[in-house]
């Protein structure tokens, strides 16, 4: 049975509801219960670890038996395991739901499989509706499930000839206002913003996400990597969120600790040395390269040595999107050879 127009509208609404939930060890999920004639009966979303999942939250707003014959529209495949809460697939079956439409499969080895359980119980199941939008919403959680670490975006701004700064070290501003505003918006979509001590000492960045002079509602936690001491009066020490400091070059260890703190999306903009370290370590899921129509020359490249000895060993990227930003151009890309390995799903 094809997805109906009412179900498509319900999925759009479910994605909006999902965004209300917090990012953390659990995914953001939204659910809408539709009557047999396509009318919305109840809505729900997941409010964090240990709270009812979106499907159960929506069902809880209905009288016993009211969901019989109804359709559940959910942004993620209903889970199939018992953790701090029970399996959502079983809750839907017990409630008498006869059709489920969901966007994305659950990648968890334990939590996945809800669709099969529903079908085995005679429930009609349709998957893939607005999958791209659902993936964008929870890409950080999906990466954490597959790789056991946060989703990492590395950003840099460069001249047309690949330089991040002029020969005297000055770099403000290579790009124009539209590109800088885009950076701040993307900062606000992240959980942590990562720089090296070199950037802190050279630029004294505030590491906030701003709209002009105003702080945006969501602020990423500042993360500083390196052995040099951050001055007591550094701007980032006045950040709304307490900074995290890592005196190590072990990026895997840093990401593991951030993952344990519930960080899903990491935004790296700490200069050529740190950006290159993440790339060389194979820890990059997305690249944001802001290219300005200026020429600088010199040796201050946007990336340093990546340990690539010849052209046949080059790190190939796939372009997701080219975004014009005033006179500048943003390239959004991901590594073409990225590999994933499944881990167990969260509760």
| Helix (H), strand (E), coil (C) string for 186-231 | HHHCCCEEEEEHHHHHHHCCCCCCEECCEECCCCCEEEEECCCCCC
Give Rg (Cα) of the chain.
23
Query: Is 5 an annotated catalytic residue?
Result: no
Q: Which of 55, 77, 129, 269 is catalytic?
A: 55
In the structure encoding, which two tokens stand for residue 180, read together? 């800088």
In the structure encoding, which two tokens stand for residue 255, read together? 């990401």
| Helix (H), strand (E), coil (C) string for the chain | CCCCHHHHHHHHHHHHHHCCCCCCCCCCCEEEEECCCCCEEEEEECCCCCCCCHHHHHHCCCCCCCCCCCEEEEEECCCCCCCCCCCHHHHHHHHCCCEEEEEECCCCCCCCCHHHHHHHCCCEEEECCCHHHHHHHCHHHHHHHHHCCCEEEEEEEEECCCECCCCCCCCCCCCCHHHHHHHHHHHHCCCEEEEEHHHHHHHCCCCCCEECCEECCCCCEEEEECCCCCCCCCHHHHCCCCCEEECCCCHHHHHHHHHHCCCCEEEECCCHHHHHHHHHCCCCCEEEEEEECCCCCCCCECCCCCCCCCHHHCCCEEEEEEEEECCEEEEEEEECCCCCCCCCCCC
Instruction: Provide the annotated active-site residues.
Output: 55
């Amino acid at each position: 049975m094809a997805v109906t127009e009412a179900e498509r509208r319900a999925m759009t609404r479910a994605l909006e509801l999902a965004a209300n939930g917090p990012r953390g060890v659990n995914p953001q999920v939204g659910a809408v219960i539709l009557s047999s004639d396509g009318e919305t009966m109840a809505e729900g979303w997941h409010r964090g670890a240990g709270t009812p999942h979106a499907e159960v939250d929506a069902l809880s707003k209905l009288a016993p038996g009211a969901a019989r014959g109804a359709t559940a529209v959910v942004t993620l495949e209903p889970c199939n395991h018992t953790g701090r809460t029970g399996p959502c697939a079983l809750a839907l079956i017990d409630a008498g739901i006869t059709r489920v439409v969901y966007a994305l499969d659950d990648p968890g080895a334990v939590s996945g499989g809800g669709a099969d359980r529903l079908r085995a119980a005679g429930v009609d199941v349709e998957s893939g509706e607005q999958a791209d939008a659902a993936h964008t919403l929870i890409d950080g959680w999906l990466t954490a499930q597959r790789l056991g670490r946060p989703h990492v975006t590395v950003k840099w701004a460069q001249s047309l000839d690949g330089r991040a700064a002029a020969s005297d070290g000055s770099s403000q501003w290579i790009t124009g206002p539209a590109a800088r505003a885009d950076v701040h918006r993307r900062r606000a979509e992240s959980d942590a913003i990562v720089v090296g001590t070199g950037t802190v000492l050279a630029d004294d960045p505030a590491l906030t996400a701003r709209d002009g002079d105003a702080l945006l509602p969501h602020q990423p936690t500042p993360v500083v990597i390196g052995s040099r001491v951050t001055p007591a009066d550094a701007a980032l020490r006045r950040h709304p969120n307490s900074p995290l400091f890592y005196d190590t070059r072990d990026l895997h260890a840093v990401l593991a600790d951030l993952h344990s703190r519930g960080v899903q999306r990491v935004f790296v903009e700490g200069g050529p040395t740190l950006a290159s370290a993440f790339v060389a370590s194979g820890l990059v899921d997305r690249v944001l390269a802001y290219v300005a129509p200026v020429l600088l020359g010199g040796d201050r490249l946007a990336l340093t040595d990546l340990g690539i000895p010849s052209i046949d060993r080059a790190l190939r990227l796939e372009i997701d999107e080219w975004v014009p930003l005033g006179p500048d151009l943003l390239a959004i890309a991901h590594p073409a050879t990225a590999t994933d390995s499944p881990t167990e799903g969260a509760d």
